[in-house]
Amino acid sequence: GDTYPPGSTFKLVTAAAALESGLAPSTPLPAPDTYTLPGTRTSLENYGGEKCSATGAMTLDDALRISCNTAFAQLGVQLGADALRTQAEAFGFDTDLSIPLTVAHSRFPADGAIDEAQTALSAIGQYDVRVTPLQVAMLAATIANGGVEMKPYLVSTVRDQDLTVVDTTSPTALGRPISASTASSLRDMMLNVVDNGTGTAAQIPGVQVAGKTGTAQTTDGAAPHAWFTAFAPATNPKIAVAVVV
């Protein structure tokens, strides 16, 4: 399959790494209007040049709710490339997967390959980070499943010409990339995205939806990729989705 820059959907990975390191949703983060990438003269802005905070600071929860680029870029530098890569790999980046079709590798830049400026961009799903839509759906599903990542599969039952069952596929856990408490915090943060943040268009009457938006810049002159990933109902999940346009 194809891979794409994930944009702000990758902030779920960055937020997971932050929570796993001991930060809380209420942890304050710097959130300036612009952020000069370390070692460069390049200024990073928030989407559409918008302000994240009148005070220049906001909580991790609020930074995800409005998808603040400057806050997450600085958070990525604070955590470091190794922590981001470790968390991405825990979710299945750079890992072989068969469903039983072979799935393209989602990838985070290789060990030692990026500097702090590139780490900042990677933390918001830009630079050389690439994902499959399946990987993003698995990310949402893992959060929905309390931190346990399940192996996806296309075929549940194989039958012969007489419709006798020849083989069945049983649900199989791939691992636990995040703790149950981190998954719970991310679920609440994703609920806030849909209830009060960038994902309000995904609201469904009578159903709690936990989601995350993303906009990924590609090449000059080309329209960005638009992303949305979610699961619902938030407290008793039945479905996880990832969409890229």
Amino acid making up residue 19 = L
The Cα 201–Cα 137 span in angstroms is: 19
Query: Is 21 in the active site?
Result: no
Q: Which of 8, 67, 106, 122 is catalytic?
A: 8
8-state DSSP, 197: S
| Cβ–Cβ under 8 Å, residues 132 and 162 | no
- CA 185 to chain centroid: 14
The Cα 204–Cα 210 span in angstroms is: 11
Q: Residues with Cβ < 8 Å from 90, sequence gap 6 or more? A: 175, 177, 178
Which sequence positions are flagged as catalytic?
8
